[in-house]
């Protein structure tokens, strides 16, 4: 909260002996609070400069990339889609219901119509970074190891249970082999 110098008027009894009369004197006291700077606003130009510097591209290319990114986000959110940028947040549209409100000048009750508004929800890692709780960076997956053949698992022994042949198989008697058929000449 930035405070400019504020003047307060304080009445003190300073006694002046002028012909044996006491005269109260009014003092002005200047009180200054520790001035806090308002957070700097980062605009499009600053972001474009930073993109151009970090990506090592021209400002024109950075401006084109910046504009195309936000145009794509606007189009997606306008069409009702949700845009999620991992580690940053989610852009979406939310439906606000119709509600009653009051006109602050007249106190009259008015109806605020339903509307669809764009919304942004920050990711957990973004919130932690803003609050100074920087999460440790996630370990990058190591290069895939070459496939090594796994040792064959030993077969598990099955419990041995005596089997009884089905009743039909027990009655079945071996049928005699068919006699050889005589060969016919063609």
Q: What are the sequence ranges of the domains in the chain?
A: 44-81, 82-135
Pure H helices in 16-165? 44-55, 59-78, 124-130
What is residue 41's predicted lDDT score, i.e. its pLDDT? 80
For the stretch 88-144, pLDDT in tens is: 999 999 999 999 999 999 999 999 999 999 999 999 999 999 998 875 666 666 666
For the stretch 5-19, pLDDT in tens is: 444 444 444 444 444
Cα-Cα-Cα-Cα torsion 79, 84, 90, 94, nearest 10 degrees, comes to 20
Question: Cα(132)–Cα(137) distance, rounded to whole angstroms?
Answer: 14
DSSP 120-156: EEE-HHHHHHHTT-PPPPPPPPPPPPPP-PPPPPPPP
What is the DSSP code (8-state) at residue 170? H
CA distances from 123 to 3, 91, 92, 166, 176 (A): 34, 11, 13, 67, 82
The answer, as to whether pTM is greater than 0.85, is: no
Q: 68 in helix, strand or coil?
A: helix
Q: Name which of 32, 33, 26, 28 is nearest 8 in CA terms.
A: 28
Other C-beta atoms lying within 10 Å of the C-beta of residue 175: 6
Q: Specify the CATH number of the domain 82-135.
A: 4.10.520.10
Other C-beta atoms lying within 10 Å of the C-beta of residue 122: 13
What is residue 167's predicted lDDT score, i.e. its pLDDT? 60
């Amino acid at each position: 909260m930035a405070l400019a110098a504020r003047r307060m008027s304080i009445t003190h009894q300073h006694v002046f002996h002028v012909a044996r009369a006491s005269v109260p004197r009014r003092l002005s006291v200047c009180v200054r609070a520790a001035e806090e700077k308002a957070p700097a606003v980062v605009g499009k130009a600053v972001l474009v400069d930073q993109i151009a510097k970090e990506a090592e591209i021209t400002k024109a290319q950075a401006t084109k990339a910046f504009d195309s990114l936000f145009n794509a986000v606007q189009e997606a959110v306008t069409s009702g889609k949700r845009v999620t940028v991992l580690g940053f947040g989610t852009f979406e549209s939310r439906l606000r219901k119709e509600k009653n409100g009051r006109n602050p000048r007249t106190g009259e009750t008015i109806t605020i119509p339903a509307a669809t508004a764009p919304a942004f929800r920050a990711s957990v890692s973004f919130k932690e970074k803003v609050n100074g709780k920087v999460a440790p960076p996630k370990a990058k997956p190591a290069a895939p190891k070459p496939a090594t053949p796994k040792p064959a698992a030993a077969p598990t022994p099955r419990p041995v249970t005596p089997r009884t042949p089905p009743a039909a198989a027990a009655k079945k008697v071996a049928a005699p082999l068919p006699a050889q058929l005589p060969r016919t000449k063609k």
